[in-house]
Chains A and B, each alone.
Chain A
């Protein structure tokens, strides 16, 4: 992989104790936007305190202009039709800046909150998550661009020939379609999957097929490069384009103690501990910039997803320290040249799977 590929940066704005007021989320998203980050994420689950992440990022949308907005949206107990409508609407209200971070609900405790079905093994949950991603994409395509014609002469608001039933039959659900929301500005909002440290498991299989961007957990650039290569080989087997999906290395950053170059451990130190949240960087913003530059110029990954250990403090140091340095070294852009999240990520607007080729009807 060429080292000239653009560097992508994303940050989590949750973390810390759960907050239900909008202001802190808006503030963090604006901070990330000031650093020209590609997108912010907001984790979510039915099983732990916190507001609905997609709702929070919808609230953030009008208060920001450029930064991408990627909430966790789960697929296990939700309705695929509602999920696709909500994500499409996030794209509408943000004018093309939406993504969704696909997750599953694996615990019995979460299942009891719904009382619909028992907890299922990961293989089954991720197969279903793939089906939800597939039906969402079909629903987003079920309105062709320009289906709203407002043809005064015939009185038709829409051209029904540009609307399509999706007739999806999954293992556990079916959806007839078409969507009730017109095709979103990006065509398909960006699909993100976190495959963790597992390059071949159920998460990775779903990601290889459906994700536009993937989070991986690795401690060394070589490790990351190997996971990325394996993932892209799987993706290619599904007929996906070279370089697809984008691969972002995810780690927690704790920038609380200033520069401690010997402690950060992520570059080459063999004994870095990997906690529940994956690899952990502890050190200063300058060394973090070194680390990011090193991994990226080695061609290991397309970018990074960073979860601040302490949201406001670490995001501020990330933006004002690490990002500023990377920009100074011309390794990272200083502004968002485009308007949509796909444009930030260098991803094309997907062709519509239902649109008739060559425009013939």
Chain B
């Protein structure tokens, strides 16, 4: 079983109103969570990325946690205060160039002694593009084309140094060989400035759920970060993505599937359920509920009572009020789903939002949660989990102190790191350079 700790990015998961919630930007918070994860012998620490502050109705969204450090810089600093923990950054392929990013990732891999990971994301959003030289130039259809060529190019660069030779102490890192890449997205050539990374290639993670996204992951990724936190959805996703690997000459074990999940622990199952309900209430304030409904209905609902019923009218499917979010594919269908749920369970607008938008994957006593983790992994719903705490930096203390020991007792999770690199934690092969 593989475990990772997520320090949430721009999000509405973090209960920042809780007095135990510390700074979301000071290094001390990141250091504390990373040290907890390492104490728990986790595979890696994970950071998301948002490149533009989100808006709704033309105004900057002010309810969520925002204001994040830049991931690679932060992870290099965390490399100084951790020894074994993998360090994974989400970095977009649309708003970066392969030479520079390959260099930054290879540098992190060197400075951390082989612990770097890269979550490849593919925003095509012109709204985000307004912060960048090229603007929103990429069609949705082209984003995975660019991502695939981007990752392939980065690997060409990482492969471009000869490995160090035993008899040559004058070149302890090997030496650069010229590279030339020519494809539809990039035509670049020269010499790469960073020696081959300790892992050969930093671990590549993919997050994105469409057919193209899954295909890209099957072809090129080492890990998938998914949203499928239930057993049934997890099994279906697992079977689908693992099946795709053969096409690319890869084995099922070459791609790890790790859903992003939340965990709420109590002394007993019922206590955990109570805490979970309380957390849900904190995550979805009245205003948050109204904004969530506006994203579907495409209309200003600020005069509505969040504790009252859903809007009686149907959404306008053509209006887009929110910028910088993944859009609901079909607002009419989504509204119908909400309405059915509200009627069936007698839920207010806010209650419906709580039901539909918050993911609470594992709730229970330490024993219950350990059993559920194990079941997921044993029955091919996941290879492990990326744990998203609702409190930072202390939100994974419970898991590390109370669940991890049970997993270790069961023999399904390591008690010590066997190797020093992220690849070795994940049981991934060390890539052999081409050419």
Contacts and interface: CB of A to CB of B under 8 A. Distances in A.
17 contacts: A20-B107, A20-B194, A46-B99, A55-B73, A61-B77, A77-B99, A80-B133, A86-B72, A93-B77, A112-B188, A155-B17, A155-B286, A158-B67, A175-B131, A176-B130, A180-B52, A181-B25
Interface in B168-223: 173, 176, 186-191, 193-195
B62 interface: yes
A13 to B, nearest CB: 14
Contacts of A59: 76-77, 79-80, 111
Contacts of A174: 130, 135
Contacts of A88: 69-70
A173 B110 contact: no
Contacts of A113: 99, 188-190
Contacts of A155: 17, 63, 285-288
Contacts of B336: none
B305 to A, nearest CB: 15
A186 to B, nearest CB: 14
A116 interface: yes
Contact of A55 (B111, B173, B193, B285): B111
B50 interface: yes
Given A61-B77, A163-B60, A114 B188 contact: yes
A93 B96 contact: no
Nearest to A63: B80
Interface residues of B, number: 63
A157 to B, nearest CB: 6
A86 B60 contact: no
A196 B435 CA distance: 42
Interface string B96-137: 110110011011101100000000000000000011110100
Interface string A29-71: 0000000000000000111111110111011111100000000
A89 interface: yes
A86 B79 contact: no
Given A50-B193, A157-B65, A180 B132 contact: no
A55 B65 contact: no
Contacts of B100: 46, 77-78, 114
A59 B31 CA distance: 13
Contacts of A15: none
A6 to B, nearest CB: 28
Interface in B44-70: 50-53, 59-60, 62-70
B69 A81 contact: no
A157 B110 contact: no
A51 B70 contact: no
B107 A82 contact: no
Nearest to A84: B70
Interface string A149-174: 01010111111100100000000111
A86 B285 CA distance: 33
B27 interface: yes
A160 B66 contact: no
A109 interface: yes
Contacts of A50: 193-194
A45 B194 CA distance: 11
Contacts of A163: 53, 60
Q: Which 7 A-B pairs have the closest CB atoms?
A: A58-B76, A93-B77, A176-B130, A20-B110, A89-B73, A62-B80, A89-B70
Contacts of B187: 115
A22 interface: yes
Given A55-B76, A77-B97, 19 more contacts: A20-B107, A20-B195, A22-B79, A46-B100, A49-B195, A52-B103, A55-B111, A56-B111, A58-B74, A60-B80, A62-B81, A78-B100, A95-B27, A112-B189, A114-B97, A147-B67, A176-B130, A178-B60, A181-B68
B225 interface: no
B238 interface: no
B193 A49 contact: yes
A107 B168 CA distance: 31
Interface of B: 10, 16-17, 24-27, 31, 50-53, 59-60, 62-70, 72-74, 76-77, 79-81, 95-97, 99-100, 103-104, 106-108, 110-111, 130-133, 135, 173, 176, 186-191, 193-195, 285-288
B80 A54 contact: no
Contacts of B25: 92, 148, 181-182
B70 A85 contact: yes
A264 to B, nearest CB: 31
Given A112-B188, A156-B62, A157-B64, A58 B133 contact: no
B31 A62 contact: yes
A115 B190 CA distance: 10
A60 B76 CA distance: 9
Contacts of A89: 69-70, 73-74
Given A51-B194, A181-B68, A181-B69, A62 B77 contact: yes
A177 interface: yes
Interface string A170-203: 0011111110111000000000000000000000
B67 A160 contact: no
Contacts of A82: 70, 95-96
A98 to B, nearest CB: 10
A21 interface: yes
A157 B63 contact: yes
A79 interface: yes
A136 B59 CA distance: 23
A109 B190 contact: yes
B107 A56 contact: yes
A143 interface: yes
A51 B132 contact: no
Nearest to A153: B17
A180 B50 contact: yes
Contacts of B80: 22, 26, 59-63
A114 B181 CA distance: 11
A104 interface: no
B133 A92 contact: no
B19 to A, nearest CB: 10
A93 B79 CA distance: 12
A93 B173 CA distance: 29
A116 B70 CA distance: 24
A175 B129 CA distance: 9
Contacts of B69: 88-89, 92-93, 181
B134 to A, nearest CB: 9
A81 B193 contact: no
A52 B63 contact: no
A55 B99 contact: no
A90 interface: yes
Interface string A15-29: 000101110001000
B21 to A, nearest CB: 8
Contacts of B188: 112-115
